[in-house]
Amino acid sequence: MEPGKRESWRTTMLLAYQSLGVVYGDLSISPLYVYKSTFADDITHSDTNEEILGVLSFVFWTLTLIPLLKYVSIVLRADDNGEGGTFALYSLICRHANVSLLPNRQVADEELSTYRLEHPPETAAGHRSRLKDWLEMHTSLKTALLVMVMIGTCMIIGDGVLTPAISVFSAVSGLELSLSKSQHEYAVIPITCAILLFLFALQHYGTHRVGFLFAPIILAWLICMSTLGLYNIFRWNPQVYQALNPVFMLKFLKKTKKSGWMSLGGILLCMTGSEAMFADLGHFSYSSIQLAFTSLVYPALILGYMGQAAFLTQHHDFDSSYQIGFYVSVPEIVRWPVLVLAILASVVGSQAIISGTFSIINQSQSLSCFPRVKVVHTSEKIHGQIYIPEINWMLMILCIAVTVGFRDTKHMGNASGLAVITVMLVTTCLMSLVMVLCWHRPPALALAFLVFFGSIEAFYFSASLIKFLDGAWVPLLLALILLTVMFVWHHTTIKKYEYDLNNKVTMEWLLALSDKLGMVRVPGIGLVYTDLTTGVPANFSRFVTNLPAFHRVLVFVCVKSVQVPRVLPAERYLVGRVGPPGHRSYRCIVRYGYRDVHQDVDSFETELVESLATFIRLDALFRSSDDAGDGAAGSDVDYDPLRERRSSSENALTVVGSNPLRRRISYEYDDSHDGASSVEIRVESPGTTTGGGTIELVTAPPRAVKKRVRFLVEETSPDVEDKRVLEELHELCEARESGTAFIMGHSHVKAKPGSSLIRRLAIGYGYNFLRRNCRGPDVVLRVPPASLLEVGMVYVL
């Protein structure tokens, strides 16, 4: 046990060190601009020092109450299978209460390993939360909850625009002490824009090549800031620690009154980056993030702010308020090295928020809350490192526009502060719901949490909102645009699903139509993509009505997102039959979490064929066990606990992967053949070599990929049923040899006649504009264009 503990401690220490460059970059560089933004306009630095000491007291208690107490002590515990962030909280709430607006939910989703629920204590087992009932009964409350999550997401994206601008600008503005005012104006903006352009241009390469430098840079910056703070404290005012007394806050507000309240919009910037501790929880661990903050980041920040305040208490003769900043307290002999280190630290902090913006947009897209965009995974080894080209260039343009348009820390700080505090307010509201619905704590405790932290954040929020004309309009405008886009996309997606659900047809109808039209089955596998988990989609029925032919093996594929961060590969596929076995039609539901990586088309095709082969054999075993009776089934067959047994065979789905028989299937790729590749299906009886059969076929995949795939499926006895299984596997292999076609719907949406003007604008123009100018589902699902077949479909919603 002791060595294990030492190993665990070393792992925690290593993760804590690595978290410095990913989690704390943004928070660590906030001393560059907090005092500068606070003293920009509203208050002045007087000889009495009441203002600077009051600001220091506010900074200390803000850092103590929000990042340390709220996030490190409470919020970080609300992880979703180790993941954090706004969508993690929303996912937790949706799993414990029926408040999700996502379509195609299934009972089988609740059996996922990651679908973990916090069960109430035994003493409260019979008590049902009134809050839960209230939320589940009112659709308007569900919508309001989703809108609140969207607002938090929009503000995080807005922070991805504003934080790089203010961070890099504040770091480069250290040149103001070495250049004349005219030189400063002509140098700082171009240098800032050049650094931002360089930063965004390198995003598509990923950070895995230079990521190892991030933690040392932030560590060096924190040590530098702490050293400078200690130097200034002992050099200028060792008594500055007295300002940590909250009485100084009251004196500050009493003297400055409304101006002091308005200056809180600059003070709250000391919390910038606190949300990253929770959002990046999945990359590290609770203990490592807690250790890094409490032992290094928090003390370094306090010393840095105290050192600046100590220097300012002894210096009052500044030409203008813009000189009350970080660099004025840096000794001239080390000013240039500190300037270079600050610029590097600001780049690291900006990189962290840009990566976080990519991640939150990818999560929004997975939950149908954002238009489809192309997600590029920049590292094959490190999960979660992604790059979104169109979002990257939009962020770059907006970031440079903010820098050139505002040209000072005051307006950038006002804009960034409003975005930061709004996200924190959303987190506070969601956490209060998690306490009641997920942790089953008394409602009074959740209310106390909401009132205590919510009132503090609302106080700061009001001070930021009053700066609307001085820069705070930027995040509000961005949030309004993004919220409109997200809500229109999500609402129309839900309505399209409802339309498909109401217009689906049964397999019996399709079989009867096949007899009437003389349907032709062509060689190959046809993958029909649909959002439905039951029935035949209307676009496919329209397709076969006009062109009475489809593939020999037909698979209705539903790629859906589940309210969990990740789905284990062994539980990803739900497979079942559509129609009688002789029809060779199947349904495959592919489940992904909101942080999962979608597979490339080659691996997806291969796994799909493998899953179908496994299902065919399992289905035969289930049928034979049903015929033999419950007793024989219990002794001979290992039932899959996740199999849904319903009266209709179309609705009977098996989780392919969790059953032990899944492990008996193997792949062998042989690229040594110059001609076509071979596919071998071998059926063997356990413990004997006489009951099985072998089929070996030569195949030529459509993209000239040479493969050798072997399916090993156990057999119980060589009877008639097994011959049928062998024949079905044979046909599956022949269909794979002929190639795969991807059949997808190409939709056009129209509002119903008589709809309101807003609805016609949102659906008829807004959604169609987004659909035409964003990525299609074939790009998101990585479907090869040569194998794509689109079916036009008009939705009247």
The DSSP call for residue 644 is B
Q: Give the lowest-confidence range in 443-452, 672-681, 735-744.
A: 672-681
Q: What is the 3-state secondary structure (H, E, C) of 705-746?
A: CCCEEEEEEECCCCCHHHHHHHHHHHHHHHHHHHCEEEEEEE
String of DSSP letters for 567-623: --GGGSEEEEESS-GGG-EEEEEEEE-TTPPPPPHHHHHHHHHHHHHHHHHHHHHHH
* pLDDT tens figures, 87-109: 889 988 888 888 888 766 767 77
Helix (H) or strand (E) holding 88: helix 86-96
pTM, two decimals, is 0.83
- What's the CA angle centered on 600, arms 553 and 773, to 5 degrees? 100
Q: Give the lowest-confidence range in 67-71, 683-687, 779-783.
A: 683-687
- Residue 758: CB atoms within 10 Å: 10
Res 225: pLDDT: 93
Q: Which amino acid is at 181?
A: K
Q: How confident is the model at residue 532 (pLDDT cuts 50, 70, 90)?
A: confident
Residues 6+ apart with CB under 8 A from 700: 676, 677, 737
β-strand pairing of 549-561 with 573-577: unpaired
String of DSSP letters for 426-487: HHHHHHHHHHHHTS---HHHHHHHHHHHHHHHHHHHHHHHTTGGGTTHHHHHHHHHHHHHHH
The DSSP call for residue 694 is E
Neighbouring-strand partners of residue 792: 746
Q: What dihedral angle (degrees, nearest 10) is formed by the CA atoms of 591, 594, 599, 601?
A: 70
Give the residue, 129 or 238, on which the prediction is more confident.
238
Residues 6+ apart with CB under 8 A from 188: 169, 172, 173, 175, 176
- Residue 795: CB atoms within 10 Å: 20
SS3 breakdown of the chain: % helix, strand, coil, rounded to 5?
A: 65, 10, 25
pLDDT mean over 376-392:
75
Query: How long a stretch of residues is the chain?
Result: 797
Q: Which long-range contacts (CB under 8 A, 24 or more apart) does 256-261 make?
A: 256/42, 256/43, 256/51, 256/54, 259/42, 259/43, 260/42, 260/43, 260/51, 260/54, 261/462, 261/463
Q: What is the CA radius of gyration of the chain?
A: 30
- pLDDT higher than threshold 90 for residue 457: yes
- pLDDT higher than threshold 80 for residue 713: no
* pLDDT tens figures, 285-344: 888 888 999 999 999 999 999 999 999 888 877 655 446 778 888 888 998 999 999 999
